[in-house]
């Protein structure tokens, strides 16, 4: 890959002095869907957080280049404007702020930052209606406060709805399947698949292979103890489903 | 510790008596002709109480956080005359926020009723309203219930101060069964006077008839930045199965001293929603007392206080569950910045007869600076055995995770922070029934923090 959209080199990151990521190397090209799998505690969510700019993580070494820019130097809102989107594992409830208002404020902040014209209320609403249909979202969810009182499934659906509205270049889905029943999972996957195109890259982080039946990745990487210990095609996910993560442990140990 | 310091000092006076200036001011009121004999007697008794017991000092348990005597004796506040035409024109502009709603309005300037700034011509069906001290054609005794709830012999001598000195106030009566959609406005404007700090003692009476439904808003404003004192008392009687929403909005200048007492009594199955919204004042003390006096009564006490600079806000509430199956919900929240100080004391009293009481109390504070101080003091006194009472208080900063969430969507750090402060206040505003007042406050607060005009849908209370 000559010029990948996202290039992670020897990335180390720590939380409260404890090293969680211990040398990640990964390149993701435009249009590609990469799955990151791994057991609990392997560093999957840390990787997602570091890429989105969560400041509770301290990057201790390595570099991340996104669309030719040093991603780690950018504020979270600037990363968003540049096209990075994180679908949260635990979306935050913000009582008092309307769901649609928030989304329009976010979308227009991004557009301003990129020197584009802001969307007026009518155009925004039209776009929102179209995207809500895609996620089979109830009208009432968008009229309520951000995620307030949403079920687990509704929150995840709202994340993908936001992604559909913001149209990022790099979407990071952090355990989007957790807490979803099979019907909700299918709807969410359908929304994600509708957003796949040649320009958009996706990093799908998951513990279970199940999600990858619906969002079929181009590449699968296994994270263990803060490193990618194995990479392969989509069939690697099936192998993990069958054998579990245990068989990779020795390789992880050998790589130290 | 030396022996000398162990010698007990003489017991400190809990109250300090009003000085000669107040005595002269009261003598002028007492000499006034034209008031009914019963009222003159009530005023004399009230002033006697005040002389005997004085203004509360911080030695008094109920005033530990707020020393009123210090304020009231620093300088005597003068009772201003009825304002002239020029002042009224200015006051009219100040009273515009209320006027914009277009419903019935009673306007007071420095405690005086000003019919020329009021709108009482075409009152909604079932509403009678006017000045408390006005002679009325119906010949009914408007003053009869006065002091029944706000007792001049009670703990709070500011009620006696008000009773002795009040100039006038609003009298609002909702007929049994009347369903009133219009928001009834009481607007008080303090002009600040010239050279001398002024005081006003507005005194309101609201009577909600059986099965009626209505909304009343009291708004307090200052004409300029001059210091003044407002000491307002409102008595509210809610008859059986009536529903009353009452909001008290304090937007006086930040040099003002604002004392208020709202005393209410609820009959069986009545529903009372009391909102205490404090934004102005150098020093604010709000007392809210509601007695759930019949079975199945419901009360909502919703408070929002926003204090910055050196503002001080003290909210004391008493929820008195006297009868069975009462439900009370009390939510107070404060936003503090600068060196602001606030106090919240919420007393819930469940009397022996009040079985199956369901009471919830919470006080949440958002602290935006390291120099501000918030106090919370919940007091539960439960004398019945089959009840549910919960309380909680929180003091916190802006939620970092929510901040990151907003930023990760592209909202700038500063805007995200302001949006979260607004959201904290919007939750309290969301407890007001939808009304022109709620919309106006949402707009004002959104602009206050974000500097922007809110587009539709900015606020969402989430139900």
Query: How far does A233 lie from chain B, in Å, by closest CA?
Result: 30
Asked, for residue A168, whether it belongs to a domain, the answer is: yes
pLDDT of residue B299: 98
pLDDT of residue A6: 98
Number of Cβ within a 10 Å radius of residue B412: 20
pLDDT of residue B99: 54
pLDDT of residue B12: 41
Tell me what the mean pLDDT of segment A189-206 comes to: 94
Only one residue has tokens 């805007």, namely B415
The ipTM (two decimal places) reads: 0.95
Cβ–Cβ below 8 Å for A76 and B461: no
Determine contact, residues B145/B169, Cβ cutoff 8 Å: no
If we measure between CA atoms, which residue out of B304, B426, B324 comes closest to residue B365? Answer: B304
What's the rounded Cα separation, in Å, for the pair A71 and B41?
Answer: 78
* Interacting residues of B268 by C-beta distance below 8 A, sequence separation 6+: B240, B241, B294, B295, B296, B297, B323
What's the rounded Cα separation, in Å, for the pair A20 and B125?
Answer: 70
Tell me what the mean pLDDT of segment A92-99 comes to: 92
Chain A residues with beta carbon closer than 8 angstroms to that of B411: 77, 102, 105-106, 109
CATH number, position A49: 3.40.50.300
Q: If residue B113 lies in a helix (H) or strand (E), which one and from where to where?
A: strand B112-113
Mean pLDDT by 10 residues, chain B (463 residues): 41 61 90 87 95 87 86 80 85 69 89 93 94 78 92 93 96 98 94 85 98 97 94 98 98 96 98 98 97 98 98 98 98 98 98 98 97 96 96 96 97 95 95 91 90 67 39
CA A89 to chain centre: 9
Could you tell me the residue ranges of all domains in chain B?
12-399, 400-463
pLDDT of residue A3: 81
pLDDT of residue B291: 98
Only one residue has tokens 């208020």, namely B260
Structure tokens belonging to residue A39: 């057991």
pLDDT digits (tens, 9 = 90+) for A201-248: 999 999 888 899 999 999 999 999 999 999 999 999 888 888 888 877
Number of structural domains in chain A: 1
Cβ–Cβ below 8 Å for B427 and A76: no
What's the rounded Cα separation, in Å, for the pair B20 and B68?
Answer: 17
What's the rounded Cα separation, in Å, for the pair A136 and A157?
Answer: 9
Structure tokens belonging to residue B113: 């009723």
pLDDT of residue B188: 96
The alpha helices in chain A, defined as continuous H runs, are: 44-52, 76-81, 99-113, 121-134, 139-143, 152-166, 182-194, 210-214, 235-243, 249-255
Fill in the DSSP letter of residue B152: T
pLDDT of residue B155: 85
pLDDT of residue B101: 66
pLDDT of residue B455: 64
Q: Are strands A6-15 and A18-28 parallel, antiparallel or unpaired?
A: antiparallel
Query: How far does A182 lie from chain B, in Å, by closest CA?
Result: 27
Asked, for residue A1, whether it belongs to a domain, the answer is: no
Q: If residue B445 lies in a helix (H) or strand (E), which one and from where to where?
A: helix B436-450
pLDDT of residue B93: 80
Determine contact, residues A130/A165, Cβ cutoff 8 Å: no
pLDDT of residue A1: 59
Taking a contact as any Cβ pair under 8 Å apart, which residues of chain B between 223 and 262 contact chain A?
Answer: none
Mean pLDDT of chain A: 91
pLDDT of residue B83: 85
Cβ–Cβ below 8 Å for A96 and B401: no
**How far apart are the two ends of chain A, measured CA to CA in Å?**
27
Cβ–Cβ below 8 Å for A80 and B409: yes
Q: Does B455 touch chain A (CB under 8 A)?
A: yes
**Is residue A246 classed exposed, middle or buried when 0-12, 13-18 and 19+ CB atoms within 10 A define those classes?**
exposed
Q: Does A119 touch chain B (CB under 8 A)?
A: no
pLDDT of residue B462: 37
Sheet containing A57-66: order of strands: A18-28, A6-15, A57-66, A69-70
pLDDT of residue B2: 39
CA A3 to chain centre: 21
Segments forming the whole domain that contains residue A19: 6-255
Cβ–Cβ below 8 Å for B460 and A79: no
Asked, for residue A204, whether it belongs to a domain, the answer is: yes
Tell me what the mean pLDDT of segment A13-42 comes to: 95
pLDDT of residue B11: 40
Asked, for residue A178, whether it belongs to a domain, the answer is: yes
If we measure between CA atoms, which residue out of B162, B180, B158, B169 comes closest to residue B103? Answer: B180
Taking a contact as any Cβ pair under 8 Å apart, which residues of chain B between 394 and 433 contact chain A?
Answer: 399-402, 404-413, 415-416, 419-420, 422-427, 430
pLDDT of residue B340: 98
Chain B residues with beta carbon closer than 8 angstroms to that of A149: 462-463
Cβ–Cβ below 8 Å for A109 and B455: no
- Nearest beta carbon to residue A88 from set B405, B457, B463: B405
| Interface size, chain A vs chain B, as Cβ–Cβ contacts under 8 Å | 115
Chain B residues with beta carbon closer than 8 angstroms to that of A86: 408
Fill in the DSSP letter of residue A246: G
């Amino acid at each position: 890959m000559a010029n990948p959209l996202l290039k992670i080199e020897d990335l180390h990151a720590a939380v409260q002095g404890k090293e969680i990521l211990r040398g990640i190397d990964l390149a993701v090209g435009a249009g590609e869907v990469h799955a990151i799998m791994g057991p609990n505690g392997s560093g999957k969510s840390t990787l997602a957080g570091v890429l989105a700019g969560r400041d509770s993580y301290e990057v201790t070494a390595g570099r991340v280049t996104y669309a030719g820019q040093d991603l780690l130097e950018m504020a979270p809102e600037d990363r968003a404007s540049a096209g990075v989107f994180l679908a949260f594992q635990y979306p935050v409830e913000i009582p008092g702020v309307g769901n649609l208002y928030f989304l329009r404020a976010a979308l227009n902040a991004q557009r301003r930052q990129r020197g584009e014209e802001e969307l007026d209320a009518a155009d925004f609403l039209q776009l929102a209606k179209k995207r809500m249909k895609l996620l089979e979202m109830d009208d009432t969810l968008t009229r309520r406060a951000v995620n307030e009182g949403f079920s687990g499934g509704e929150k995840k659906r709202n994340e993908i709805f936001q992604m559909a509205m913001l149209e990022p270049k790099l979407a990071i889905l952090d355990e989007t399947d957790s807490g979803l029943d099979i019907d909700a999972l299918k709807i969410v996957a359908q929304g994600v698949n509708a957003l796949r195109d040649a320009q958009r890259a996706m990093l799908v982080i998951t513990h279970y292979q199940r999600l990858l039946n619906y969002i079929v990745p181009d590449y699968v990487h296994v994270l263990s103890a803060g490193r990618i210990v194995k990479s392969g095609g989509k069939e690697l996910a099936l192998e993990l489903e069958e054998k579990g993560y245990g068989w990779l442990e020795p390789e992880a140990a050998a790589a130290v | 510790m030396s022996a000398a310091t162990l010698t007990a000092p003489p017991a400190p006076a809990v109250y300090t008596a009003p000085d000669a200036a107040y005595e002269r001011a009261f003598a002028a009121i007492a000499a006034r002709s034209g008031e009914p004999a019963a009222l003159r007697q009530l005023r004399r008794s009230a002033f006697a109480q005040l002389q005997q017991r004085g203004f509360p000092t911080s030695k008094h348990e109920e005033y530990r956080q707020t020393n009123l005597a210090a304020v009231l004796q620093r300088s005597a506040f003068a009772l201003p005359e009825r304002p002239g035409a020029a002042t009224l024109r200015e006051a009219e502009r100040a009273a515009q926020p209320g006027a914009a709603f277009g419903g019935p309005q009673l306007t007071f300037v420095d405690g005086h009723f000003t019919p020329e700034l009021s709108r009482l011509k075409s009152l909604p069906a079932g509403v009678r309203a006017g000045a408390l001290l006005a002679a009325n054609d119906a010949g009914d005794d408007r003053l009869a219930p006065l002091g029944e709830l706000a007792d001049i012999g009670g703990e709070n001598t500011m009620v006696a101060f008000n009773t002795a000195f009040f100039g006038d106030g609003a009298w609002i009566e909702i007929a049994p069964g009347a369903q009133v959609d219009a928001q009834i406005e009481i607007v008080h404007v303090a002009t600040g006077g010239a050279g001398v700090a002024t005081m006003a003692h507005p005194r309101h009476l609201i009577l909600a008839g059986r099965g009626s439904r209505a909304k009343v808003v009291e708004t307090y404003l200052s004409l300029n930045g001059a210091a003044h004192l407002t000491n307002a008392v409102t008595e509210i009687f809610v008859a059986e199965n009536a529903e009353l929403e009452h909001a008290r909005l304090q937007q006086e200048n930040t040099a003002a001293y604002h004392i208020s007492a709202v005393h209410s009594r609820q009959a069986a199955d009545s529903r009372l929603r009391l909102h205490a919204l404090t934004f102005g004042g150098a020093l604010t003390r709000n007392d809210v007392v509601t007695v759930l006096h019949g079975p199945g009564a419901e009360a909502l006490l919703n408070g929002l206080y926003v204090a910055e600079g050196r503002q001080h806000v003290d909210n004391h509430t008493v929820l008195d569950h006297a009868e069975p199956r009462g439900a009370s919900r009390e939510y107070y929240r404060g936003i503090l910045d600068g060196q602001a100080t606030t106090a919240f004391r919420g007393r819930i009293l469940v009397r022996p007869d009040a079985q199956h009481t369901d009471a919830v109390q919470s006080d949440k504070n958002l602290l935006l600076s390291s120099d501000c101080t918030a106090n919370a003091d919940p007091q539960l006194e439960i004398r019945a055995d089959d009840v549910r009472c919960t309380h909680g208080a929180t003091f916190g900063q802006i939620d970092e995770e929510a901040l990151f969430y907003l930023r990760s969507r592209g909202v700038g750090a500063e805007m995200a922070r302001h949006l979260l402060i607004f959201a904290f206040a919007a939750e309290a505003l969301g407890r007001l029934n939808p009304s022109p007042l709620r919309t106006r406050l949402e707009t004002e607060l959104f602009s206050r923090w974000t500097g922007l005009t809110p587009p539709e849908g900015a606020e969402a209370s989430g139900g």
